[in-house]
Amino acid sequence: MAAPVVTRFAPTPSGPLHVGHLLAAAQARRLADEQGGRCLLRIEDIDVTRSRSREWVELMYEDLAWLGLHFDGEVMVQSERFGVYGAALEQLRTAGLLYPCFCTRSEIKAQIAEMGRAPHSSLGYLYPGTCRNLPPDVVAERLARGDAHAWRIDMQRVQDLIGCPEWVDLHRGTQRSVPTEYGDVVLARKEMPASYHLAVVVDDAAQGVTHVTRGEDLFDATHIHRALQAVLRLPVPLYAHHGLLRDNSGKRLAKRDGARSLASLRAAGYTPRAVRDSLTAALANGGIWQV
Ligand code: GLU
């Protein structure tokens, strides 16, 4: 018998929930319900520099209750799990896959400009690898001095180790992750002891998630996640990246479109039913949100 389906809704509390979140939550809930599975909730509040996240989490619970969206089991809260992420980092460090990077953002920009090309990916700039092969005595000295640094993963070593592993998107079919494609991403830094990429793969495994539903803006990030799953020896879920909601001009709805926050729709007198019907109408209309 196939393992029971487990999906999750994993919002980042960086503002009030908006209709894009509703879509993500509804997709996760629906897939679980269709398969007789469970849909879990995870609060992705690893960015402790965001001072208002507690407030947004409270509002989020209100919005979800108002909409009648429920989740199964215990809520996972990432800000309570830094020890777990630290252990995963240690595993990668011991395997010789991490290195400290002392470059500031402006130094990286200058390095990229000097190279005379713009090594960008859909996920931002590609780190040019400046600190990848610093002499060990320099690294030791700078660490001992307490120089600010981030921990990056050496994707060339990862690729040498695991090759280019496959993953499956239920809408787009089998994909192949090329670990070096997005460069040596940051997995931790002082003010953020675990990056999104690290926390998400550790937590999807810890929650036993079998199907990851999320917006297609995270499609490319899944290549990175697949590589991390391989080196951390974590199970690989199936993925279903869904289209994003857009306004009438075809522009992606963004968080700053305050009018589309669930709280503002609620305040304007919309019923949960009306908001859900608007979502159904948008999905029938190529993702164009009309309200
Ligand atoms: N926390 C992310 C967000 O709110 C979603 C992460 C995911 O689904 O993997 O955009």
Per-residue pLDDT tens, the chain, 291 aa: give them.
Answer: 677 999 999 999 999 999 999 999 999 999 999 999 999 999 999 997 887 889 999 999 999 999 999 999 999 999 999 999 999 999 999 999 999 999 999 999 899 888 877 667 888 889 999 999 999 999 999 999 999 999 999 999 999 999 999 999 999 999 999 999 999 999 999 888 999 999 999 999 999 999 999 999 999 999 999 999 999 999 999 999 999 999 888 888 876 666 689 999 999 999 999 999 999 999 999 999 987
CB distance 264 to ligand 1 below 6 Å = no
Instruction: Of 199, 191, 243, give the one whose Cα is nearest residue 217.
Output: 243
Among 47, 214, 242, residue to substitute to test ligand 1 (most atoms within 8 Å of Cβ): 214
Distance, CA of 144 to CA of 147 (rounded, Å): 8
Q: Are strands 38-43 and 76-77 parallel, antiparallel or unpaired?
A: parallel
Assigned token pair, 263: 């709280």
All structural domains of the chain: 6-80+245-284 (3.40.50.620), 83-189 (3.90.800.10)
Q: Name the DSSP letter for residue 270.
A: -
CA of 119 to the centre of ligand 1 (A): 25
Write down the pTM of the prediction.
0.95
Structure tokens at 84: 């777990």
Note if 190 is an active site residue. no
